[in-house]
Chains A and B, each alone.
Chain A
């Protein structure tokens, strides 16, 4: 009875000890390290339009009054001794009369001879441009802009997921922008072209498209073309969607022509579209947007 009581007491004490001090730790537990957050160091200009930090280094200083020993006008203004010692600046002996050419009469505009439509292909009816879908495109663009605002955080999340998942290999050529654009377009076209098929088409046309560079507001020259293709994937007809702007805007005109040449370029024909998708893609809109190129 007494032994049992003592044993019971000891066991109770043991239990109490465990409750107070915890289970004895035979091994030092592994500290759970926080997951590393990958941070890429890139130039500010690549991601944002924020002014470079240099700008803040030097605030515009108030005009001081520095004492200068001598005026230094434009470079190389200081007289060189060897060129000076000539006596007088008289009339130059060279015959320097510049004959004025007779004024050219104003160029007469020649009545444009309309080239008869030399089209090898029969003129198939092109579906009339519907204003409705275009409006929706605009709305979509707005939505895309909104999406882009949020997409910075989404991108970080995406990047984290990609790092965790070792099976997914990083494609070095495709930047974040391209991924974003692809994601956006995937939503536009649904299941008509897969992302890789779309990418192939884009790469093909990128080689043929040489937009006018250097013109004022070149980045606003976004050209939409209504393209219809033949059964073999080659372009049958191209129509500039915004014909009003084509007629009135002298800068848009060359930009639209350049986009049209890209689509009709033999280098880009037939278009890289899988044959089984010609049916669903008889006509589609190609939107040439040079903003990312400047």
Chain B
């Protein structure tokens, strides 16, 4: 009896021991985990062979469209379109499914193919996006439009590629308004309001250069821009905020104000315009309801409050003020309550702009030696300078919140005269920057909302 009990006890112990060992061993033998924490930020190699059609004419259209897509993606800095000469598979003999082995040899990771059907003026583009390595179709969309919308159709393909590969909305079907300058920093300089597609196509002047124009801003809902314009003779000069309808080209002043009004910007819902108005050596922030024309004063301090910009949800406003001694960035509620400073670094801060994503505020920073474009979080933390130079100013956001557009001036002499003034777009990571193809010198760019035409 006793022996039996002892034996069973030994057995039980052995079982427990075995189980505990199993528990300890199982995670190790289950599956090895290798953690990769470092990578390389590189533009994705992408193959964009000419889009093909059933006729010579359709092929020609296809070639043009594929070049527009290639140019869009290259300018984004996140893609590296490969040279057509390196392609092995002939696109005209390509079946439904590409020969992925051939495309792997070209070092392409992503492949864009499209077939075009043209019936009179109607274009139908069947576009497919392929992952060359996993041999999978990532996207397949058919776009249809009028022949005159050829560029927009191509931009939509770029948008679809960009969205699927980067996760962010594509911004290629957008426009940019800016001030065209004939001879920056010289007495002969004239400034004209101009507008173009984001890739420089369809360029148009909106004013004749007789009057000074500054700071154009797009309405988020209507084809309308607000800007600051000067009128009158030398002594009776007036500077005011104007609204221009982009369809009719009609312009009208915002209203009758005693002092100068400037730095306009629309509210995210397009219902209000926020701006600065001077009074007795100071300037304060006001909003105007664009329907009722009711005006509300938001700040009232003996200081210069300017460059207001709403947060994308419209609940807060970031602005620039020297109320604390030097120019710093402040954030307040949309009714003007609870203003608090968010910039605490060295130097002077100016022209804050809230990202459409809401996560960052871009600004100009002026130190003793240089001007910089930087970004910080809305609470002022995480300040990061992304570009610097002789004169950098006027940051504005790409509507997807990925790029910051700004003006870069490079003088020809040491006193800062002459030289060039151009628009640049820089990725918020600071890793990629490109110059916008304006036909002449440019400043004060503004990016339209997405799908804005």
User: Secondary structure of the A side of the interface?
Assistant: loop
Which of B28, B142, B394, B427 is most buried by chain A, counting CB atoms within 10 A of its CB? Answer: B28
> With A73-B263, A79-B212, A86-B210 in contact, do A213 and B41 touch (Cβ < 8 Å)?
yes
Q: A291 with B249: in contact, given A84-B212, A94-B208, A215-B167 (CB under 8 Å)? A: no
Contact status of A107 and B143, CB under 8 A, knowing A85-B233, A284-B34, A293-B38: yes
Report the separation of the CA atoms of residues A286 and B33 in the bound assembly, to the nearest whole angstrom. Answer: 6
Q: Does A289 have its Cβ within 8 Å of any Cβ on chain B?
A: yes
CB of A54 within 8 Å of the partner chain = yes
A207–B148 CA distance with the chains assembled, in angstroms: 44
Contacts of B281 in A (CB 8 A): 67-71
- Interface: B137 (CB within 8 A): yes
State which residues 114-136 of A face B: CB under 8 Å.
Answer: 114-116, 118, 130, 132-133, 136
* Interchain CB contact under 8 A, A202 and B276: no
Q: Check A137–B33 contact: CB distance below 8 A.
A: yes
Asked whether B234 lies within 8 Å of A85 as measured between CB atoms, the reply is yes
Q: Are A206 and B40 in touch, CB under 8 angstroms? A: yes
Residue of B nearest to A62 (CB): B324
* Chain B 202-242 interface residues, beta-carbon cutoff 8 Å to A: 204-208, 210-212, 214-215, 223, 228-234, 237, 239
Q: Within 8 Å CB of B256, what residues of A?
A: none
Question: A83 contacts the other chain (Cβ, under 8 Å)?
Answer: yes
State in angstroms the CA–CA spacing of A55 and B379 once bound together: 13
- When C-beta atoms are compared, the residue in chain B nearest to A54 turns out to be B345
Of the 9-residue stretches B8-16, B126-134, B266-274, B286-294, which lies at the interface with chain A? Answer: B126-134
B389 to chain A, nearest CB (A): 14
A220 interface residue per 8 A CB criterion: no
Instruction: Compute how far the CA of A189 lies from the CA of B28 in the bound complex, rounded to whole angstroms.
Output: 6
Query: What sequence of 0s and 1s flags, for each residue 120-163 of chain A, a beta carbon within 8 Å of any chain B beta carbon?
Result: 00000000001011001100100000000000000000000000
Contact of A255 among B167, B215, B247 (CB under 8 A): B167
In whole angstroms, how far apart are the Cα atoms of A62 and B325 in the complex?
9
Q: Is the CB of A105 within 8 A of B144?
A: yes
Q: Does A35 have its Cβ within 8 Å of any Cβ on chain B?
A: no
Q: Number of A residues contacting the other chain (C-beta, 8 Å)?
A: 109
Please state if B145 and A76 are interface contacts (CB–CB under 8 Å).
no
**Cβ-defined contact, A289 with B146, below 8 A:** no
Asked if A214 contacts B429 (CB within 8 A), the reply is yes
State in angstroms the CA–CA spacing of A255 and B164 once bound together.
Answer: 10
Nearest CB of chain A from residue B351's CB, rounded to whole Å? 7
Nearest B residue (CB) for A68: B281
- The 8 Å CB contact of B133, one of A80, A81, A264, is A264
Taking CB atoms and an 8 Å cut-off, the chain A residues in 200-259 that contact chain B are: 201-202, 205-216, 238, 250-251, 253-255, 257
CB distance from B11 to the nearest CB of A (A): 27
Residues of A within 8 A of B429 (CB): 213-214
CB atoms of B100 and A288 under 8 A apart: no
Complex contact B39–A82 (CB within 8 A): no
Which chain B residues in 55-77 approach chain A with CB under 8 Å? none
A290 sits at the interface (CB 8 A): yes
Are B228's CB and A79's CB within 8 A? no
Residues of chain A lying within 8 A (CB to CB) of residue B350: 74-75
Stretch touching chain B among A7-15, A24-32, A96-104, A164-172:
A96-104
- CB of A81 within 8 A of CB of B324, answer no
Kindly report which residue of chain A lies nearest to residue B403, judged by CB atoms.
A214
A109-B100 Cα distance, complex, nearest whole Å: 24
Partner-binding segment picked from B81-89, B188-196, B433-441: B188-196
The 5 A-B residue pairs with the shortest CB-CB distance, nearest first, are A209-B39, A264-B133, A133-B30, A86-B210, A284-B32
Residues on B lying within 8 angstroms of A by beta carbon are 26-28, 30-42, 44, 96-97, 100, 104, 109, 126, 131, 133-138, 140-146, 148-149, 152-153, 156, 164-168, 187-191, 195, 204-208, 210-212, 214-215, 223, 228-234, 237, 239, 246-249, 260, 262-263, 276, 278, 281-283, 301-304, 306-307, 322-325, 340-341, 344-346, 350-351, 357, 359, 364, 381, 393-394, 401-402, 427-429, 431, 443, 453
A–B pairs, 17, beta carbons within 8 Å: A60-B340, A74-B215, A74-B350, A83-B189, A83-B211, A86-B211, A89-B211, A98-B204, A105-B145, A109-B140, A210-B41, A253-B167, A255-B167, A260-B134, A265-B109, A287-B34, A293-B39
